[in-house]
Structure 1
Amino acid sequence: MLLVKAGYEVEARPESVPAILARDGVVLIQQGSVAEVRDLLEGWTVPVDHPHQVADGLTVITPRFDSEVADNGAGFTDLPLPPHTDRSLHEQPPGVLATLMLAPARAGGTATLVDGARVLTILRRRAEDAAIARLRLKTTAGQLGPPVVEFTSGHARIRYRDDRIAHPQSTDGHTDLVADLRRLITETVRSLHLSEGDGYLVHNHRFLHGRTAFTGDRSLARFLARVNSDHPYAWLNRGFSIASS
């Protein structure tokens, strides 16, 4: 398995992965296997369970429902998935997410990534942190969920989705700020073609991920985890580092 620093095309050592996530938020995987990705995560992370998992922290994402599904099963269709945070509505979303392509789609199914740190940097030039902090996820049932951006001392954590489950809303009526957020995500999205054995490892509190619609039996392994509490980079579970405004 080959690990690559995204944007640098430089090979990364496995032991440097936590530091790279802290700095860049993403590491690309090439020519990997499920066993190798699990080994990569072992020792510095703990698996995070998911209702659809086939093993601790491991879910195989493949079409199993029809396109009319109207809940969290949308990931298990051939529909597009807009950029999102995994487990965004949960109290503690996993800090680490990895994917590995098992079988590419016949057509489509391109992976998409958005660096939330870049989006937030631009958004903070246009709005005060207090206004950004009042952006909340609102479910289709009308319930207000967690903040889209959680600010803590020196850190921020993004929880984002914009689909049939929930969408961003400003609790003080700044619809222009919501529009800015959506536009920035669209403008900064990066497409990533994944062949068999390719994937990515991201800081789930920083990077949004998704895919385009596809045809065929695309199959992807997804790993959810959090950083061990005694690890030097355990702070990744709280978010990513930001400069004060």
Structure 2
Amino acid sequence: MRLMEPGREVEVSRDLLPATLARHGVVLIRQGSIAEVRALLDRWTVPVDHPHQVADGLTVIAPRVRLDDCDNEAGFTDLPLSPHTDRSLHAQPPSVLATLMLTPARAGGSATLVDGAQVLALLRRRAEDAAIAGLRLRTATGQPGPPVVEFVPGHARIRYRDDRIAGPYSTDGRADLVAGFRRLASETTRFLQLGAGDGYLVHNHRFLHGRTAFTGGRTLVRFLARVDNDHPYAWLNRGFPIASS
């Protein structure tokens, strides 16, 4: 298995993986296996459970359902998934997410990635942090959810989705900020075509991920985890660093 910096043909040492993830928010996987990714994560993270998992923190994602009124299982279809934070509505979303492609789609199925740190930096050029902090998620049933951007001293954490389960709104009536976040996320989306054995690790508090629609039996595995509390990079569980406004 090879680990690569995004956008460069630079291989990442396994010992430097946490530092590289902290710096870039994403690390690419090439020629990997489930056992190798699991062993890599076990060195510095703890699995986070998911209702659909088949093993600790590990879920197989492949088309198996057709949706009616609820798309909480949209991942298990061939439909597109808009860029989102995994477990966005939960009190403590996992900080590390990894995917590994087992069987690529016959057509389509590109992975999509959005750097939330870039989106936030652009949004902060036009609004104060207090106004951005008013962006929240609201469920389809009208229940208020967590903040889209959670500011803590020196760090920020993003949790985002925009689908039939929940979407962003502004508690201050700033529809322009909601539209601005959506537009910036769309404009900064990156597309990755993953072959068998390819994948990525992302800082789930920073990077949004999704996919385009596809045909064929696309199958991948997803790992959810948080950084071990005793690890030097356990601060990734709080978010990503930001400069003061």
Q: When the two structures are superposed, what TM-score results if normalisation uses the length of structure 2? A: 0.99
Equivalent residues in 2 for 1:23-102, closer than 5 Å:
23-68=23-68, 70-102=70-102
Question: 2:167 aligns to what?
Answer: 167
- Which runs of at least 4 in structure 1 moved beyond 6 Å after TM superposition? none
Could you tell me how far apart the structure 2 residues matched to 1:49 and 1:88 are?
14
Question: 2:121 aligns to what?
Answer: 121
Shift of 1:69: 5.5
Task: Letter of the 1:21 partner, please give it.
Answer: L
Asked whether the equivalents of residues 160 and 168 of structure 1 are also in contact (C-alpha less than 8 Å), the reply is yes
Asked whether the equivalents of residues 109 and 218 of structure 1 are also in contact (C-alpha less than 8 Å), the reply is yes
Encode CA deviations 1:98-119: one digit per residue, 9 max, x unaligned. 0000000111110000000000
The 3-state SS of whatever aligns with 1:126 is: coil
Asked whether the equivalents of residues 67 and 79 of structure 1 are also in contact (C-alpha less than 8 Å), the reply is no
Equivalent residues in 2 for 1:1-245, closer than 5 Å:
1-68=1-68, 70-245=70-245
Could you tell me how far apart the structure 1 residues matched to 2:6 and 2:224 are?
20
The 3-state SS of whatever aligns with 1:137 is: strand
Asked whether the equivalents of residues 105 and 217 of structure 1 are also in contact (C-alpha less than 8 Å), the reply is yes
Aligned length in residues: 245
Task: Letter of the 1:214 partner, please give it.
Answer: F
Shift of 1:91: 0.5
Shift of 1:72: 1.3
Could you tell me how far apart the structure 1 residues matched to 2:21 and 2:40 are?
13
Shift of 1:70: 1.4
Percent identity at matched positions?
76
Asked whether the equivalents of residues 4 and 29 of structure 1 are also in contact (C-alpha less than 8 Å), the reply is yes
What 5-or-longer segments of structure 1 have no aligned partner? none
Encode CA deviations 1:74-116: one digit per residue, 9 max, x unaligned. 1101110000000000000000000000000111110000000
The 3-state SS of whatever aligns with 1:235 is: helix
What 5-or-longer segments of structure 2 have no aligned partner? none
The 3-state SS of whatever aligns with 1:186 is: helix
Shift of 1:45: 0.2
Could you tell me how far apart the structure 2 residues matched to 1:8 and 1:229 are?
31
Could you tell me how far apart the structure 1 residues matched to 2:68 and 2:30 are?
34
